[in-house]
Structure 1
Amino acid sequence: MDGLFVPLADAVGASVDQVKLISCLLIAYPLGSVFIRIPSSHPALKHLFSVAITLLFFFPVLKLYAGFFQLLGSVLATYYLTRYYQGPMMPWVVFAVVMGHLTVNHVIRVIYQFSYETFEVTGPQMVLTMKLTTFAWNVHDGQRPAADLDKWQMAKRVTKFPTLLEFLGYSFYFPGMLVGPYLDYSDYMNLINETVFKTLAVKGKSGRNIPAGRKRVAYRKMVTGLLYLGAFIVGGGTWNYSISLTPWFAEQSLLYRIAIYQICGVFERMKYYAIWTLTEGASIKTGLGFTGLSPSGKTLWKGAANVDVLAIEFPSNFKVLLDAWNMKTNVWLRECVYKRVTPKGKKPGFRSSMITFTTSAFWHGIASGYYLAFLTGGFITTIGRLARANIRPLVLEAPGTQPSLAKRAYDVVGTIITTLLLNYAASPFMLLSFTDSFTTWARLGFYGHVIIGAAMAFFYAGGAKFCRSMHSKQQQAKMTRSPSSVGTPVNEKQFMVPPSFDQIVPPRAQLG
């Protein structure tokens, strides 16, 4: 089938693999309409259809024959481990098996020096790793007392073990098979059985419990995704993070280099916006992602979203940015790593955050750039949490009142700093090598490390205590000016006290 893709690849200046990937995402749209037309009274047909389309993608189109059987091996191993191994360590055993398999393929990718333009098994395997490890935890939660589970765990737990066909249909759900978004088993079965539609009793034009508006939203996503793709094709070849390695970049002034790098970051992200928006639309065509009705009665389809572009390009803080980027992966990391490594009865802290960031880097691959990016992200998250807990209360107004000038200035400064730190921390993620990453950081004046270091120094040198004192004085002044008003005395617990230095930089013995 390469004869169908080579002329198009030559015309747009892309690799054949990239054209094949986008073609599969677009083909999923009409196939999604076929999928949803299969009635819920025949769930086996829906499972078989999904598996058949995935085989179509992997065999004649992408030619990943061995890759598919590798994925099938992980699927079968997970199925039988979760079915017959009932111990408390079962989810971690599954995690080790599927993540270890993924890491082997990451190593192979590095050995053979595959470029990012080459589409091979690690892409879909990363999505599958999230699905399989989440399923293992869902099965584990289904065996625990309800009193020990939180809201998410209660909603997603598996109490009735699936048949092999159901599990294969879940594992190889075709719209999200190649690049995501991943979905958990309960959402997949709700899609197959149309449970959400039946609960809301929303009738479509066909008389079935399928809400109207699905096609309109899906094709709007398709057009938006293609626009992002076009922007990347036009500008991404020139304005990307690797520009920092050129002699021209080194000759510019520091401020100009920093400004140019922010523009490059926008174009670097366009390719991710494109594929995630395209696959979101394809998922919506199958009925996935329905989240109810708006006040005006229009159907809402936000459940399959994997990215919020405006929140990323104009973030109020780093937490908002992370929550808006690769959202389904964030859910996986939060529910299957962040919460699970936190001791029972304790709140997640810096240790949980750093384990989660390390897991994310490990999941992405073995390149040193991933670890530089996520390690830096861990420190950025910490200073962001400290700022929100200690500085933000000083500029907040009473609920229901207009934001003050100080609050608006805080938001603007927060957006600027967050964007600067995003493009600084993300550069190693794209450049991958240790040398290229540090060359880039040096040519940017290490401004990200300067911001992080200055923030840490401020909070450790008494800044957190100073903020608490200032907030206490503010509350006392409000109560003095208006005795009849309801004053809120300062609550020490609402402020985050910086962790000890050993918690942030563990002793050498703990680093192994």
Structure 2
Amino acid sequence: MSEETGGGLITNFSKTIGVTEPALKLILTVFAGYPLALIHRKYLYGKDVSLQHLFFIVTGFALGYWNYGKDINHCVLTIFFTYCTLLLLKGTAICVAVIFIFTMSHLLIGYLYCSTDSYDINWTMPQCILVLRLIGVAFDYYDGHQPPNTLSADSKKLALQKRPSLLELFGHSFFPAAFIVGPQFSMKRYLQFVGGQYSKKDTINDPPDCIEPAVQRLCLGIGYLIVFQTLGMFVSDEYLLTDEFANVNFFKKMLLLGIWGKYTLYKYISCWLLSEGACIMFGLAYDGEDEKGNPKWNGVENIELNIFENITQFQDYVKSFNVNTNKWLGQYVYKRLKFLGNRLISQFVSLMFLAVWHGFHSGYYVCFMFEFIVIYMERDIKSIIKSDERLTKFFSDPRLQLPINIILRLYTFIFMGWCLLSFGLLQFNRYMLAYKNVNYVGIILFVLWPIVYAPIIRFVLKKFKKNRSTE
């Protein structure tokens, strides 16, 4: 009876505030990290590590079961399979390959059977977070069995010489503040945290002073959540597909496209900020001390707001947005493709892996393809400017810095909306209609760059340089 009542309360409340029940449960789960962090700080911090592992396992699993019911057992199966593989195959390349193939295959089969035409809040959401976490453990255990002189500085920091125990693997995987929506963090960080290495200097049993920075992140998360809901009153996915939007004048249309892009990103940013705040409150986010000896709490930071809100080039989106996933991608995919001998190919393969990890919707692949094309275009433009002395001097003029900055901010504001259209709308017929409604501006600018604009610009500059040399 109480379960039915609880379900009814959630259902009714979700209808009252205008969100789906799974979405409401998701956000409540993220908020649940804060009271759980306070309980851990009060009763378990600095105590027996097995007790801490059990606390994280029980609470994380309970939150997962509340959201997804028996489907949460997909996560349990994946973790247990990973442990058995680490146990049997040890720190070998075969071990990494088996874990990589199994976890990704399980996730993709889940997408195949569970995906709909829109965003799905089901067991594949925590599963996709879990897949990266477990693959990371496999790579770190492999690195721990390699000669240290063959490892990069980051790999040395993360390498695991000892195989994680079953409790450690489950505790790391089900950590309640990061199990559902992230952030990603290494097994090494988790073990150092439960081992008390992030404690106050004077005693291992006292949790660090992290309440204030945690509350600051919480407030920021709530603020972005409010802005997200507010922007949704002016733009929405469906609005971009209407005749009303298509008939708006071009400049207003571009403004609305930029606002929709922010609206789409703020959905993720609000969740990440709230989740990060809970991780800070636990003490997991400790990242050493600054030059004044004050503790830093950006160890699991997933959004760098100072960069994100002041972007003038798309490369800054990569630096500031979904930071931990991008770090994971760099550490375990991009750098491992060094044998290809080509950074551009490595970057392309890494982005395609990211698209596959998201699912089978064509919108993911188009979005990451555009990310690749846009970053290529920006690098190409920089190369052209750098190769021409007059252009370098022109764009370095102090008097032009303000107008250039304004133009670049408008450019990133508008065209991030363009790049996100396929990611937000997912289905081919939907994002193609949206492309049509915004006059195909991104295709005209980005796709034609290497085919039309770049060759013309290089030809003109070369001819001008040749004419000057003959004068």
CA RMSD of aligned residues (A): 2.6
CA contact (8 A) 1:289 1:301 kept: yes
Bigger relative CO (Cα 8 Å, ≥ 6 apart): 2
Q: Is contact 1:342–1:352 with CA below 8 Å preserved after alignment?
A: yes
Match of 2:64 among 46, 58, 61: 58
Provide closer, same or farther for how the CA distance between residues 306 and 403 of structure 1 changes in structure 2, counting only shifts above 3 A: farther
What's the offset of the Cα at 1:464? 9.9
Partner amino acid, structure 2, of 1:166: E
1:232 Cα deviation (Å)? 2.1
Q: How many angstroms apart in 1 are the aligned matches of 2:71 and 2:177? A: 18
Residue 458 of structure 2 is aligned to residue 463 of structure 1: yes
CA deviation profile, 1:350-407 (whole Å, cap 9, x unmatched): 111111111111111111111111111111121122234443686779xxxx983345
Report the TM-score, using the length of structure 1 for normalisation.
0.82
2:458 is matched by which residue type in structure 1?
Answer: G
Q: Which residue of 2 aligns with 1:271?
A: 267
Distance 1:305 1:449, change over 3 A: same
- Paired residues in the alignment total 453
**Counterpart in 1 of 2:80?**
76
Match in the other structure for 1:486: none
Quote the residue 1:482 is aligned against: none
Instruction: Answer with 457-466 or 64-73: which moved more.
Output: 457-466
1:222 aligns with 2:218: yes
TM-superposition CA deviations, 1:392-440 (whole Å, max 9, x none): 686779xxxx983345554443333233331111111010011111111
Moved more, 223-232 or 271-280: 223-232
- Residues of 2 paired with 1:404 and 1:202: CA distance? 48
1:359 aligns to 2:353 (yes or no): yes
Partners in 1 of 2:402 and 2:88 — Cα distance? 56
For residues 271-310 of structure 1, what are the structure 2 equivalents within 5 Å? Answer: 271-310=267-306
Distance (whole Å) between structure 2 residues aligned to residue 352 and residue 378 of structure 1: 11
1:442 Cα shift? 1.8
> Structure 2 counterpart of 1:270, which letter?
Y
Residue 240 of structure 1 contacts residue 265 of structure 1 at CA under 8 Å; is this kept in 2? Answer: no
Tell me how far apart the structure 1 counterparts of residues 18 and 187 of structure 2 sit (CA, whole Å): 39
1:481 corresponding residue in structure 2: none
- 1:256 aligns with 252
TM-fit CA distance, 1:56: 1.7
- Residue 208 of structure 2 corresponds to residue 211 of structure 1: yes
Aligned to 1:442: 436
1:320-347 deviation line (CA, Å, top 9, x unaligned): 1111111111011111111112217x4x
The secondary structure found in structure 2 opposite 1:160 is coil
For the residue of structure 2 that corresponds to 1:144, the secondary structure is: coil
Counterpart residue type for residue 175 of structure 1: A
**Structure 1 counterpart of 2:333, from 330, 337, 353:** 337
Say if 2:37 and 2:282, in contact at 8 Å, map to a contact too: yes
Is residue 156 from structure 1 mapped to residue 158 from structure 2 by the alignment? yes
Q: Which position in structure 2 is the counterpart of 1:413?
A: 407
Which structure 2 residues correspond to residues 181-192 of structure 1 after superposition, within 5 A? 181-192=183-194
Contact 1:420 1:448 in 2 (8 A): no
1:413–1:161 CA distance, 2 compared to 1 (3 A): same
How far residue 274 of structure 1 moved from its aligned partner, in angstroms, is 1.2
Q: Deviations over 1:193-250 (max 9, x none)?
A: 12244xxx635xx8845432x1111122112212222222233154124322101012
**Corresponding residue SS for 1:179:** coil
The superposition leaves residues 150-183 of structure 1 with CA deviations (integer Å, 9 ceiling, x where unpaired) of: 1111100111111111111111111100100011
Shift in Å, 1:148: 1.2
Measure the CA separation in 2 of the matches of 1:73 and 1:207.
Answer: 34
Match of 1:42 in 2: 48
Q: In structure 2, which of residues 242, 245, 248 is the aligned counterpart of residue 246 of structure 1?
A: 242
Distance 1:461 1:83 in 2: 59
Report the CA distance shift for 1:388/1:412 in structure 2 as closer, same or farther (over 3 A). farther
Aligned position for 1:9 = 14
**C-alpha distance in structure 2 between counterparts of 1:412 and 1:124, whole Å:** 39
- In the other structure, the counterpart of 2:179 is 177
Cα 1:7/1:453, change in 2 over 3 Å: closer
> Partners in 2 of 1:310 and 1:428 — Cα distance?
26
For residues 111-190 of structure 1, what are the structure 2 equivalents within 5 Å?
A: 113=116, 115-116=118-119, 119-190=121-192
Using the size of structure 2 for normalisation, the TM-score is 0.89
Distance change (3 Å), C-alpha of 1:34 and 1:405: same
Aligned partners of 2:47 and 2:412: how far apart in 1? 49
Report the counterpart of residue 380 of structure 2 in structure 1. 386
Question: C-alpha deviations, 1:71-100, integer Å up to 9, x for none?
Answer: 111111112223322542432332111111
Inter-CA distance 464–135: structure 2 relative to 1 (3 Å threshold): farther
For 1:171 and 1:233, how far apart are their aligned partners in 2? 31
Q: Say if 2:143 and 2:159, in contact at 8 Å, map to a contact too.
A: yes
1:92 alignment counterpart: 97
| Structure 2: distance between partners of 1:101 and 1:465 | 53
- 2:201 corresponds to which residue? 202
The aligned amino acid for 1:107 is: L
Question: Is the partner of 1:176 in helix, strand or coil?
Answer: coil
Which consecutive unaligned segments of at least 5 residues does structure 2 have? 1-5
1:4 maps to a residue whose letter is L
Amino acid at match of 1:244: L
Asked if 1 retains the 8 angstrom alpha-carbon contact of 2:213 and 2:277, the reply is yes
**Match of residue 497 from structure 1:** none
Structure 1 equivalent of residue 317 of structure 2: 321
Tell me which amino acid in the other structure corresponds to 2:87.
Answer: R
Q: What do the CA deviations read for 1:124-152 (whole angstroms, capped 9, x no partner)?
A: 01110110111111111111111111111
More helix by share: 2
Distance 1:342 1:211 in 2: 39
CA 1:360–1:2 in 2, change beyond 3 Å: closer, same or farther?
A: same
Bigger CA drift: 448-457 or 42-51? 448-457
